[in-house]
Amino acid sequence: AATMLGAWYRWLVASEPAQPLRWLQTRNRPCENRDITFDSGQCFEGSRNVFAFVAATSSCDPTHSASVKVPPPLFGVPCDYQCPKGNRLGIDLASTAVSRERTMNVTCQRCPAGTYSLGGGTSISGFSRDWNKTWPIELKTSCMYRNTQGGWSVGGATCDFQVLSPESVQGLAASESATWNDFLPESEVAASMVFDATNALACENYTDFGSYPLSGKVVIVQRGTCYFTVKASNAQRAGAVGVVMFDDTADQLFRPAYPEIQDVPNIPMWMVDASVVAKIRDELAEGHDVKMYVGSTRCKKMAASGSNATMDDDDSDNHTQVESVFNQRKRDCRAWQTHPSGRWVHSGHNLGFHDVYSMLIMNVLLVRDGRVTYRYKVDAEEGFDGLRLYVDLEEVVGLASQANRWQEVSIPLSRGPHSLEWSYSKDMGTQVGADAAMIQLIEVEGTAFADHRCFPCSEGFSSVGSAHCVSCGANHYLPAAAEEEHDYSSCLECPSGTWSPPGTTSALGCRPRPACTERDVGLKMSQCMPGEQRTVTARWRQPRVCDPEHPDSVQLPAERTSACEPCQPGMSRKAVGTPPTLECVPDSINCPAGKRAIRERITSHWFSWPRDTRSVVQTMAGSRCSSDQDLDSYSWLSVSCSLLEVLGWRIEPLHGLFAEVGSFNQHRTDLTPAGTDLDAMLHFGVDIGEGGGHAKIVMQVRPPDFLGSHLVLQVDGQTAVLHQEEVEPPSSARADFKLFGDFIVVQFWLAAGRHQVTLVWQHLGADAAGGDAGARVWVTSFENEVAAGARRCEDCEPGFEVSADMLVCTSCPAGRSTAQTVDSEARCQPCPADTYAAVPGSAECTPCGVGMWSAEGSQQCLWRDVTGSVAQNGSARVYNVTGLELAWRTARNQYSGSFEASGGRFYVLELFDKATRPSASSEMDGPAPTDEAGFIWEVSEKYAPAGRGGTTQCVGTSSDQVLNLGSALEAIEPLGNGSGLVLHYTGGSMCGGQPRESFVTLKCDIEGDATLGPHALKEIQAGDSSRCAPVRLEWQTPHACPLCSLADYAMAVSDCSGGTRAVTYIKRSLCMGGLPVPSSTTEICGSGIAIGVWVVGGLMIVCLCCYAFYLRYKWRKTYDRYVKFQGEVRNKIGRSQVEFTID
């Protein structure tokens, strides 16, 4: 008890030094009406009781003789006492003139300015950070995905505790989560771990032991002395995001619980195996950065009503070693999660997953007719993925796929119970943008007859008790008379000589305008004209707060000319257009043959916004303003535009050194409304050429640990995770960064295509108004940007060649490589025969293995047919090894894991492809070797599946339980009798100074097992007691039979019948495939042959006679024509001699 009292007192003094001490020292004034607060009990049989008391945080003394007396309880207050919108249920105190006794009267009180009510309802609002608070019990989240069997499985991030780095402690750790984790907002935790030995029990406030850096970290604590919740609360006050507890004396893990007398902490706790924590502490002691990851603070998963969801384990890597947060399973899903700011909840990181439903479910009971209102954004594949609303399992709001700004939807609800389900669904393929939905606000009217409190309006909005908050822009205010006139739509302009920030609720908020200073002056630059001169025009920054007529105000500088700003690197000025202006255009460069020109868009001067770069401010309410708008003519009634030059990214045209945001710019933060939440975004639009390119941003962030919290890097709307080490392979979802004081260099990869790279500075409430926090961007670089200038030349990497335009390196297609290139040839050449290149971008061709071949330019090797001979007759036998391999692959798809041979031993077989060591499982003690591979392994019985044909369950702990029996396929040889093949493997584990070897005989058996199942495996010769003798295994299968040829078929002839007989063929040896059985035929036989000869001879004589008659007829006709022609000639020419020729 003394320890607890001492800890309580130290917390009281150390955690909040100002207020607790003031409470202890000044609680001596008399209590007044304002010190009395109220609360009500639960409804019972239609009524409730109301109690009054002096709040514990009040500085008054209830026992003081001058204090007002606390009124007695008020019994029997009707539960259906109703207050309209804009009002809350309150208590009026009445007193008599005789004594200071007070009585309570229930009444409806109008909500104060800046708040509103629903007239009895439930509100979960990002403006109040409700998403970061404990979720109501009626609000749950879940997700489902389609599994490999076609059914639906409940998925989502698990609460398994994972150590990501360093490799020596990497993997899953046995853990149990605290009971209060289930009530925290759904979110993932990824952070570095720390251990403070001076406060190992965490029963004392960490500030008592110095300023140990716990902000954003997960702290390790030891069990003992104080409540688990005290440990978590102390860590939470020090800025930790989670707690890992260990117990050296406990035999088993348990779930840390919280006593009912304690408040629930707002950060999670896990009890982790003490042996794992000991290794983590050793790594921390050596100065290593130990990172952890938990996919979900909640361990409970809930299937949607009416679904056939089951807990599915179809993915064999449920408990495989975690390499990183992003190496997730192909089939899975993520439930709704809270944004770290608490300003909204999103549908989970489901990029890369398909056939997914992510559901946010809220069960409500309405005591009267009401409605549900929600505010959302969504970025998904148009028409296929998106957000829907179901009420009582019926769709009431259809698919919404694109909403870049906050959209508000309101649906009426009838009295009674309802189930509200916001479902983000994804189809079987394709993903677009952020691939997520966000909900910022959920309001349900009708869950009560009156509100007991008023809800705050969003930033930049005002109210005097209305149900709808009213927006008043800069230099305007909501008049107090609006409460009496119930006019909530008119904002009045501040009197002359005064100004006000957005959201001002009364005329008292209009402040006198100060004198104008140099920081109120903005410069506008004209285009660069011939002579490299430009016009500089001064203007007042908007919204203008200062008074130019004030006697102490500076005057606007006169218009002047100045030299043009320098072009960005890789660009130079040229005259463009009519009349001509000097514009910066990309440079070009001629590279030697075989080299490509490196295009790089570099921004190192910030005199004006570079091409495709703009500053944008967006508030939580969806108000948005961009630097590409005409700000001089803007009305400035918009909240966002009134803050663009105050809290947005900005440049200084006079010096042009950087773009900055936050307290670096030392702007008028007094313009910021209290509690303003907004995003100051700096957008870079880039178009990356084929092959992709690296991006680099040099920034100055103050303080540096704001990178990733207040300052966020987004690529195409997706937040990139920052790592302080190099990441392979490159990805736009991950980025490396290096620290140099408060300077940070961030590098990441961009694939080919259009991208939007965004730096988001998040102003969260009070953080918007000051503090030494801000960011500057000094240099940006985007490699291979299409419109950028070329600055240098470089060779393409092996496996790539220069494109026709000499700008990008394109990968060699499959079947080609750069290994055999000579100077006079194109860089990518076909692979020679008996080699192959399976994937594009191959630097060299891979030789085919034993028994394989390929043609020139091949993408894969084929198995050669093996030819043997039968010893008895010397006939050739050909085996189709390609068909045998295909049958084996089909068998492995059906039978995974170990094979039990007839001798009782277990083997892991990969006849044609090497496999990694079978012990590569997260359940092994220590990581398995990744460089050892083989075709055949002998394993102990512990590695066998639970049943034949099952999956391997590796649970062994000793490396000698796994023997490599062959890492090289030495030969594929036919059996001497032509009845099968022998696969000879060598290069196995060393035994007696010699590598082990093994033989697998595939014996031809037409009636054997065509599936190559494990039950058909025989052990002909097992290893001896030393386990060094060769192992011989045998399968009897039809796939090992030789190909059929004509010699394998015998001709069978039937008896002669009717002059014909049947001829058939019968297989006379074991074979499969190849030449099919010849078709049956018929042939003539017996007397039918003689008759055929006489018929043919007669036909030939008739044909000869006909031909002779034809010749005689033709000769006679020709002679008659000759005689006739001779007579005609004589009649015409008399007796003259004529010579002619008859053809």
User: pLDDT of 68-82, one tens digit each?
Assistant: 888 888 888 888 888
The share of the chain scoring above pLDDT 90, in percent, equals 10
What is the model's pLDDT at position 928? 34
State mean pLDDT over 488-494: 69
Tally of CB atoms within 10 A around 761 = 26
What is the model's pLDDT at position 412? 93
State mean pLDDT over 917-926: 44
State mean pLDDT over 122-150: 81
Task: State the amino acid at position 685 in one-letter form.
Answer: G
624: enclosing H helix or E strand: strand 624-626
What is the model's pLDDT at position 438? 92
Phi first, then psi: give them for residue 1090, nearest 5 degrees.
-65, -45
What is the model's pLDDT at position 795? 82
Q: Are 363 and 304 in contact (CB under 8 A)?
A: no
C-alpha–C-alpha distance, residues 905 and 1032, integer Å: 12
State mean pLDDT over 373-397: 91
| Structure-token pair, residue 448 | 């009560």
Does the pTM surpass 0.75? The reply is no
Residue 300: pLDDT band by 50, 70, 90 thresholds? very low
Per DSSP, helices labelled H in 1001-1064 are none
Q: Are 433 and 380 in contact (CB under 8 A)?
A: yes
Most confident of 232-236, 738-742, 933-937: 232-236
State mean pLDDT over 468-475: 67
State mean pLDDT over 1122-1134: 69
Task: Give the end-to-end CA distance of the chain in Å, rounded to a whole number.
Answer: 144
The CB-side HSE value for 304 (13 A sphere, CA atoms) comes to 24
What is the model's pLDDT at position 442? 92
Per residue in 979-1027, pLDDT tens?
Answer: 888 989 998 888 878 888 899 988 888 877 777 776 677 777 765 555 6
Answer yes or no: is pLDDT of 319 > 90: no
What is the model's pLDDT at position 212? 58
Residue 625: pLDDT band by 50, 70, 90 thresholds? low
Tally of CB atoms within 10 A around 603 = 20
Q: Are 103 and 93 in contact (CB under 8 A)?
A: yes
Answer yes or no: is pLDDT of 414 > 90: yes
Answer yes or no: is pLDDT of 418 > 90: yes
1109: enclosing H helix or E strand: helix 1088-1133
Find the range with the poorest average confidence among 7-16, 820-829, 1103-1112.
7-16
Residue 670: pLDDT band by 50, 70, 90 thresholds? low
- CA-based nearest residue to 378, from 442, 422, 332: 422
Q: Are 236 and 266 in contact (CB under 8 A)?
A: yes
State mean pLDDT over 728-751: 74
Residue 148: pLDDT band by 50, 70, 90 thresholds? low
Question: Would you say the C-alpha torsion 737, 739, 742, 744 has a positive or negative sign?
Answer: negative
Residue 374: pLDDT band by 50, 70, 90 thresholds? very high
CB-based contacts of 495, cutoff 8 Å, min separation 6: 507, 510
Residue 819: pLDDT band by 50, 70, 90 thresholds? confident
Answer yes or no: is pLDDT of 687 > 60: yes
Q: Are 1031 and 938 in contact (CB under 8 A)?
A: yes
Q: Using the 8-state DSSP alphabet, how is residue 191 labeled?
A: E
CA Rg, the chain, in Å?
43
Find the range with the poorest average confidence among 30-39, 937-946, 1033-1042, 1116-1125.
937-946
What is the model's pLDDT at position 462? 57
The reply to whether omega before 543 is within 30° of 0 (cis) is yes
Answer yes or no: is pLDDT of 635 > 50: no
Residue 646 class from Cβ within 10 Å (0-12 exposed, 13-18 middle, 19+ buried)? buried
Answer yes or no: is pLDDT of 8 > 50: no
Strands (DSSP E) contained in 344-401 are: 345-346, 356-366, 370-379, 386-391, 394-400
Q: Using the 8-state DSSP alphabet, how is residue 691 labeled?
A: T
Find the range with the poorest average confidence among 195-209, 408-422, 726-740.
726-740
CB-based contacts of 822, cutoff 8 Å, min separation 6: none
State mean pLDDT over 816-821: 82
State mean pLDDT over 582-602: 84
Per residue in 156-203, pLDDT tens?
Answer: 655 678 788 887 887 777 788 888 887 787 777 888 899 988 888 988
Residue 411: pLDDT band by 50, 70, 90 thresholds? very high
What is the DSSP code string of 255-307?
-----TTSPPPSS-EEEE-HHHHHHHHHHHHTT---EEEES-S-----PPTT-
What is the model's pLDDT at position 304? 31
Q: Are 34 and 52 in contact (CB under 8 A)?
A: no
Residue 881: pLDDT band by 50, 70, 90 thresholds? confident
C-alpha–C-alpha distance, residues 275 and 173, integer Å: 10
Residue 18: pLDDT band by 50, 70, 90 thresholds? very low
What is the model's pLDDT at position 159? 64
Q: How far is CA 584 from the centre of its chain?
A: 38
Answer yes or no: is pLDDT of 1066 > 90: no
Answer yes or no: is pLDDT of 935 > 50: yes
What is the model's pLDDT at position 947? 37
Answer yes or no: is pLDDT of 312 > 70: no
C-alpha–C-alpha distance, residues 135 and 141, integer Å: 11
Answer yes or no: is pLDDT of 262 > 80: no
Task: Return mean pLDDT, the chain.
Answer: 76
C-alpha–C-alpha distance, residues 658 and 613, integer Å: 13
The share of the chain scoring above pLDDT 70, in percent, equals 75
Answer yes or no: is pLDDT of 392 > 90: yes
Residue 725: pLDDT band by 50, 70, 90 thresholds? low
Answer yes or no: is pLDDT of 450 > 90: no
State mean pLDDT over 96-124: 77
Residue 461: pLDDT band by 50, 70, 90 thresholds? low
Higher pLDDT, 947 or 383: 383
What is the model's pLDDT at position 372? 93
- CA-based nearest residue to 570, from 761, 735, 785: 785
What is the model's pLDDT at position 331? 67
